[in-house]
């Protein structure tokens, strides 16, 4: 028996060399970065491989190499996270490591490394104070609902004025949504100053679209020295200065000169500055306030507006869903009663439709970048300190394993068999997860519900007879929006017909 356990020399050699190979393999794997999709070139890294709309390409890389893929983006190392379990493990289980934002050219130059989106640890204080103020101002509550209802009234006024003509709804929706956020930040009085409000809305829009053009400078900052303003950096800087200095800073100054600190975001933040006044190193200061407000504008306007545009487009393509949404509204509210936020409890079909729009349009496919605050071994790979972390929300929201038929628009997937209860699926993460998840989720959900319900209750939407439906293709950007499209809003009680397509 004992002989069975005594190794002969050749078995010993095989065992020892296998053990050595396994150890070496383990060490190399551990000391290795996640796999890359191809060769990294000097200076530009993998940027040469990237398509102008890289969403499909990133999904393919994830399927081939995931759940972690590393990329050299110019001088930065980035790791893409694929799948719900991976993103949750990083952002929830290892939140202490994966919650920072990266230091990039744009966040340093444009964001001045302040506000919510700072690369420093100060984000914690800004988020804590920011969420306290938003809660105090009633984010997601009745007070906030009034502001949203005002935005809807204004949009309906404008749509009625369009008299069923073919219009691109984006500008009108964007104006109404930015009014909500500016009223939240600057107070009720601001909304009466129409010119200022329109200027503010257009500055916010300009800043977001200019930022998209300048995004490449994050990875190849030396390109800013090229002659001419190819990436419109000078324009972005000028727009930001106008927004921050001429508008936000002036509003702060106005409040500082007045002893009456009433109820808007700026006043509440100024009160916090006073409370923190004695602490010299406090991150709660005016410079941060300017950037916090600027972040709220940028994050809180385009995202909601883009989602509403997708909703209209998907409903145009799926008149059966539109009809079911309308039936849901009529059977619970009728045609005259204005929808309120509390109606979300009853209007399950329209709520499921909004979730399906958010899932399929996946407007923030790469969320906002995070970064690793220290070296970490994650899923057997090394992620060095400072690595940019890109969560692929597309890999979750458009996953075949999770949804079965992710490319089909099917609100029913979020309803139980009886169509009575919403199915709350963990993998539904358009606002991301963890302690950097969207700060405005409650407001966004209320806006989406009230805007869409009000529009479906009041209008049918259509394109002129004979015209083809607008494309469902997306335009890649900070938030992925539909290509510009035009539709007619026909009031349900109207005898008017939608405009005919001009020949």
Q: Would you list which residues are annotated within the binding site for heme?
A: 438
Contact between 480 and ligand HEM by CB under 6 A: the answer reads no
CB atoms within 10 A of CB 309: 23
Contacts of residue 196, Cβ cutoff 8 Å, sequence gap at least 6: 190, 247
Q: Read off the tokens for 469.
A: 């439906």
Q: Is beta strand 76-81 parallel, antiparallel or unpaired with respect to 388-391?
A: parallel
Contact between 295 and ligand HEM by CB under 6 A: the answer reads yes
Among 248, 443, 480, 490, binds ligand HEM (CB under 6 A): 443
In 326-387, DSSP assigns E strands to: 370-371, 376-378, 381-383
Contact between 402 and ligand HEM by CB under 6 A: the answer reads no
Chain residue at closest Cβ approach to ligand HEM:
440
In 293-333, DSSP assigns E strands to: none
Window contacting ligand HEM (CB under 6 A); options: 65-73, 154-162, 274-282, 436-444: 436-444
How many chain residues interact with ligand HEM (CB under 6 A)? Answer: 26
**Is the bond into 67 cis (omega within 30 degrees of 0)?**
yes
Listed residue (434, 138, 439) closest to 296, CA to CA: 439
Contact between 450 and ligand HEM by CB under 6 A: the answer reads no
Nearer to ligand HEM, 181 or 463 (CB): 181
Can you state the angle between helices 286-317 and 441-458, rounded to 10 degrees? 40
Contact between 92 and ligand HEM by CB under 6 A: the answer reads no
Nearer to ligand HEM, 37 or 244 (CB): 244
Listed residue (344, 310, 330, 343) closest to 414, CA to CA: 344
Contact between 437 and ligand HEM by CB under 6 A: the answer reads yes
Task: Look at the block and give the residue holding tokens 């393919």.
Answer: 60
Among 388, 439, 463, 499, binds ligand HEM (CB under 6 A): 439
- 10 Å CB burial of residue 307 (0-12, 13-18, 19+) is buried
Sign of CA dihedral 477, 179, 354, 408: negative
Nearer to ligand HEM, 354 or 488 (CB): 354
- Cβ atoms 59, 394 nearer than 8 A: yes
Contact between 453 and ligand HEM by CB under 6 A: the answer reads no
Nearer to ligand HEM, 138 or 491 (CB): 138
Contact between 307 and ligand HEM by CB under 6 A: the answer reads yes
Nearer to ligand HEM, 72 or 359 (CB): 359
Contact between 366 and ligand HEM by CB under 6 A: the answer reads no
Contact between 304 and ligand HEM by CB under 6 A: the answer reads yes
Contact between 117 and ligand HEM by CB under 6 A: the answer reads yes
Binders of ligand HEM among 325-364, rule CB under 6 A? 363-364
Q: Rounded to whole angstroms, how far apart are CA atoms 400 and 270?
A: 48
Contact between 183 and ligand HEM by CB under 6 A: the answer reads no
Q: Read off the tokens for 45.
A: 């890294």
Q: Rounded to whole angstroms, how far apart are CA atoms 127 and 122?
A: 9
**What number of residues does the chain have?**
503
Nearer to ligand HEM, 59 or 185 (CB): 185
Among 68, 156, 299, 313, binds ligand HEM (CB under 6 A): 299
CB atoms within 10 A of CB 478: 19
Contact between 440 and ligand HEM by CB under 6 A: the answer reads yes
Nearer to ligand HEM, 72 or 436 (CB): 436
Contact between 268 and ligand HEM by CB under 6 A: the answer reads no
Distance of CA 152 to the CA centre of its chain: 22
Contact between 436 and ligand HEM by CB under 6 A: the answer reads yes
Which residues are at the interface with ligand HEM (CB under 6 A)?
116-117, 123, 127, 295-296, 299-300, 303-304, 307, 363-364, 367-368, 370, 430-432, 436-440, 443-444
């Amino acid at each position: 028996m004992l002989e069975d356990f005594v190794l002969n020399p050749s078995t010993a050699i095989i065992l020892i060399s296998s053990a050595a190979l396994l150890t070496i393999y383990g060490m190399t794997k551990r000391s290795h970065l996640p796999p890359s999709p191809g060769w990294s070139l000097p200076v530009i890294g993998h940027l040469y491989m990237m398509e102008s709309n890289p969403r499909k390409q990133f999904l393919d890389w994830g399927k081939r190499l995931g759940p972690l893929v590393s990329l050299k983006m110019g001088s930065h190392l980035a790791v893409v996270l694929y799948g719900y379990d991976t993103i949750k493990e990083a952002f929830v289980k290892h939140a202490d490591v994966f919650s920072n934002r990266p230091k990039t050219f744009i966040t340093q130059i444009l964001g001045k490394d302040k506000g919510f989106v700072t690369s420093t640890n100060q984000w914690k204080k800004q988020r804590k104070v920011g969420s306290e103020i938003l809660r105090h101002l009633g984010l997601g509550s009745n007070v906030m609902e009034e502001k949203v209802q005002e935005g809807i009234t204004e949009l309906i006024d404008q749509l009625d004025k369009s008299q069923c003509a073919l219009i691109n709804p984006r500008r009108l929706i964007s104006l109404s949504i930015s009014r909500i956020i500016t009223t939240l930040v600057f107070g009720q009085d601001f909304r009466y100053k129409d010119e200022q409000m329109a200027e503010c809305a257009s500055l916010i829009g300009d800043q977001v679209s200019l930022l998209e053009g300048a995004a490449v400078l994050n990875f190849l900052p030396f390109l800013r020295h090229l002659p001419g303003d190819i990436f419109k950096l000078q324009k972005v800087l000028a727009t930001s200065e106008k927004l921050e200095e001429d508008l936000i800073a002036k509003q702060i100054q106005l409040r500082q000169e007045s002893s009456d600190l009433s109820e808007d975001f700026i006043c509440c933040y100024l009160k916090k500055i006073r409370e923190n006044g004695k602490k010299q190193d406090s991150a709660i200061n005016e410079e941060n306030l300017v950037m916090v407000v600027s972040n709220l504008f940028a994050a809180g306007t385009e995202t909601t507006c883009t989602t509403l545009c997708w909703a209209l487009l998907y409903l145009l393509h799926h008149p059966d869903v539109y009809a079911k949404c309308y039936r849901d509204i009529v059977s619970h509210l009728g045609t005259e009663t204005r929808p309120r936020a509390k109606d979300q409890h009853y209007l399950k079909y329209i709520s499921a439709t909004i979730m399906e729009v958010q899932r399929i349009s996946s407007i923030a496919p790469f969320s906002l970048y995070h970064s690793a605050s220290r070296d970490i071994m994650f899923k057997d790979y090394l992620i060095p300190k400072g690595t940019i972390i890109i969560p692929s929300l597309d890999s979750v929201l458009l996953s075949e394993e999770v949804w079965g038929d992710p490319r089909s628009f099917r609100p029913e997937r979020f309803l139980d068999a009886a169509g009575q209860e919403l199915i709350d699926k963990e993998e539904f993460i358009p606002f991301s997860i963890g302690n950097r998840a969207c700060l405005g989720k409650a407001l966004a959900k209320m806006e989406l519900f009230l805007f869409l319900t009000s529009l479906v209750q009041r209008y049918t939407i259509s394109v002129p007879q004979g015209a083809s439906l607008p494309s469902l293709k997306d335009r890649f950007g900070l938030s992925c929006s539909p290509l510009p499209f035009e539709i007619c809003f026909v009031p349900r009680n109207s005898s008017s017909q939608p405009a005919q397509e001009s020949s």
